[in-house]
Structures are given as C-alpha cells and as structure tokens.
Amino acid sequence: MNIPTSQALFEKANQFIPGGVNSPVRAFKAVGGTPLFIKSAKGPYIFDEDGNRYLELINSWGPMILGHGHELVEKAVSDAVQHSFSFGAPTRREVEMAERIVGMVPSVEKVRMVNSGTEATMSAIRVARGFTGRDKIIKFEGCYHGHADSFLIAAGSGAVTFGTPDSPGVPKGVAQDTLTAPYNNLEAVQLLVDANPGQIAAIIIEPVVGNMGCVLPETGFLEGLRSICDKEGIIYIFDEVMTGFRLSKGGAQERFGVLPDMTTLGKIIGGGMPVGAYGGKEEIMNYVSPAGPVYQAGTLSGNPIAMAAGLAMLDYLDTHQEIYLQLDQSGVKLAQGFRASMEKLGLNYTVNQIGSMYTLFFTDQVVRDFPSAKSSDLGLYGKYFHAMLNRGIYLGASQFESMFLSTALEDSHLEEIMRANEESLKEILAEHP
C-alpha cells in the first residue's frame, strides 16, 4: 500500500521539528489524524502534496481574504523582488503603508510596522505600560494575543485573583501582572479595576473573538469597556490582528463605532507575508523609540517585499469596499444554510457568524464566552472535521477557531460547502444518535 506523501512528510517532520509543525494547531492534534502538507493554492482552493484539491475556509488563518494568488498582490511582490529583499533602511513603501493604515483604521494616528501579530501585541502593551507608568493589564479568558509571556495566562479562579501561567516557562512574576476577566462581563472588569486602583495600564481585547471560535461582543460591552478606560486612565487596546481589514476596511472598530486608544494588526496587513503593526493615538505612539523612551526595534521590520504584498492588498481593499458587502452576504448565506440543515436534522448546535467569520459550535448553549464555548462536544467536532475533509472541504483543525471566508468563494462554492455540511452532520448523527 502506498503511504500518502503527507503522512510520509509528517513522519519525517517529527524527526526534525517539534511535533512536526512550526505552529501547534497545524498538527491536527485536536481533531486526530495526520495534517495535510500543502503544495499550492489558487483562488478558493488548496492542493496537498498528494494531489488532492480542497475548498478551504482557513485562508492562512485570515490573510488571504481575496483568495489565493490574487494577481495584484503577486505582481507587486514580483516587481519588488527585482530590487533586493532587504535594506535595513527606510523605504518609500513604508511611508505609503503607514499613510494607508492611518487612512483606513479610524483610531490610528501613527503606526509602527513589525513582523507578526505576536510582536504587535507584545509591543503595544510595553508602550501602554511605558505611557501610563503602570504594570498590570487585563485580558479576557479565551482571547488569544499571540504567544508573548504576558498573554499566556489562564483564567484566575476568582474575579480578583492573579493569573497563573498557561505554559511552563512563563515566569510567575510576569503572570501576576496579567488579570483575566470573562468575555462579555463588564461587572467582572469593574471588580478587577476597583481591586487594583491606579495599577492597570491596559485592557486588551479581541473586539470580535476568533480564538475561542467566533464569539461576538454583546451590545454595550465594547462601549462599557471604553468608559471604564476613560474613567481610570487605562489604555484601551483592540487586538484586530484577525478582525482588521476583515470586518470592514477599518476593522471591528469601524464596524461597531467604538474607538480604542491603540490597535494591533497582523494577518491581512501582510497579504500573506509575515507582517504586523501597532498604532494608536499620536501622543501614545510618540512614546515609541526613537521619538520617545519605549524601546522597540526590528531588523526586518517594514521589509520591502512584505510591504509590497501588504500594500497591494490594502490598496485593493480600500478601493473595493463593495467586497465587504459580498463577504457579509456569503457569511450570512452559510450561517442560514447551516441552521436550515440542522433544523431539518433535528439538531440544535450554535452558529456564531459576523461578516466573513463564523464557527459552528457543537453545543446547544448560546456561545458568548469561554465556558460556553468549552461546553462544545470536541470529539464530535473532530468527526465533523474529517467528514468535511472527506468531502473536499478544509476547515480549522479545532473547535476553537473561526473560519475565514474569502472573496474567491462564489455561490456555487457556498452551495458545495452547505451540501457537504448537511451530509457531514447526517453522517455523525448516524454514528451518535
């Protein structure tokens, strides 16, 4: 019997790379089985090393909002490549990029480019701490802000207890300065603030969560945090690494009309290249070196090839805002289709959707925070994942991920996804009546 190439590659990868992958969720641990090794992608499709084609809803975890291999982005990169890959000196495109971001994201007045979302959030809280002279931050249970020490903190047991590290290697001293609150719970945040007067530098939040699956802020939640921050002199940070340029050209802040003091960006901003950025009010960003005292640097930051890709992407999004209507319609169509199929099958699982982000949670609870997300049947999600994969649909390899639609998905593709979804639900229902 022939061993599939993906399986052979994964076995070899495990000899040389921890767990065989360069980022954990790729390993399929949460769903079982062997990860597909991807060879190429075009439009709405990815192709694996065994020659299989899949319609996909990951899009590199968000960046490929125009589908794979968009010609304008490809052309920008191949043009840029002619002029060397890196200078470590300022370039014209960095200025254009900064101007474009400031023009698109409502609350950003000045911006600094970095190389990943992790760098963006890590730097943003350093600036918030430097600006306020305070050490503590508040984050929300189930929100992910990259892998810097301060953010790898699980829920504290009570509203005012200190966080404990989620991962070995995170020093207790660092963990102590990260306080956690349940998502969509303003009272818990107020309690934390009251218990730590004058000590909180920043509240950081995914304004729409993608990282416990897709979870929406309830009416008044983002606004309520805004007023707590205003009253207490706390820096309000929207982590829009996922939602930026996705939920609208100006991200979640534009969509909800709530303006943070600082914003972190990533994913779409690089058009598929490794790019991140953080920005905000001018008086805060002027604290960043060399304008101010807070140090932050990067040898490859603002890399010319990455800037070319990102700028081509942002230019397109800024000048084709009708695509957000198309993405919203695609998202609504899928969510409605999934709900209709479930009604037909007598199932009552939860679909959370906004714009081009959605998650089908295998729970009948309303999913509004981390505990309700965790009430999902993870075994069932694994079965569903493989049932979809067998039908040529590639989804996120964990219940706690959002799917990301691209403009490359046409109506026929959406129909195909809805059909596969109904068949997959039927199949797992037959196994688990």
Ligand X SMILES: *Cc1c(COP(=O)(O)O)cnc(C)c1O
Residues labelled catalytic: 144, 239, 267
145-174 positions binding ligand X, by CB under 6 A: 145-146
Q: Least distance from C-beta 119 to ligand X, angstroms?
A: 7
Nearer to ligand X, 242 or 393 (CB): 242
217 sits near ligand X (criterion: CB under 6 A): no
For the CB of residue 316, give the shortest distance to ligand X in the complex, in Å: 21
Q: Which is nearer to ligand X, 113 or 242 (CB)?
A: 242
By CB under 6 A, tell whether 250 contacts ligand X: no
- Find the part of the chain contacting ligand X (CB under 6 A) among 65-73, 89-97, 140-148, 317-325: 140-148
Q: Which of 6, 59, 121, 352 binds ligand X (CB under 6 A)?
A: 121
CA-to-CA dists, residue 421 to 259, 298, 388, angstroms: 37, 44, 7
Residue 117 binds ligand X, judged by CB under 6 A:
yes
Q: Give the separation between CA 4 and CA 139, rounded to whole angstroms.
A: 42
The least distance separating ligand X from the CB of residue 353, rounded to whole angstroms, comes to: 17
CB of 189 to ligand X, least distance (A): 18
CA 138 to each of CA 122, 146, 229, 286, 364: distance values in angstroms, whole numbers, following the listed order: 14, 15, 11, 23, 30
Q: Closest residue to ligand X, Cβ-based?
A: 117
313's tokens? 């992407």
Encoded one letter per residue, x for contact with ligand X by CB under 6 A and - for no contact, window 174-213 reads --------------------------------x---xx--
Q: Which is nearer to ligand X, 349 or 400 (CB)?
A: 400
Q: Is 60 near ligand X (CB under 6 A)?
A: no
User: Should residue 261 be labelled a site residue for ligand X when binding is judged by CB under 6 A?
Assistant: no
Q: Least separation, in Å, of the C-beta of 266 and ligand X?
A: 5
Residues that bind ligand X (CB under 6 A): 116-118, 121, 144-146, 206, 210-211, 239, 241-242, 266, 276
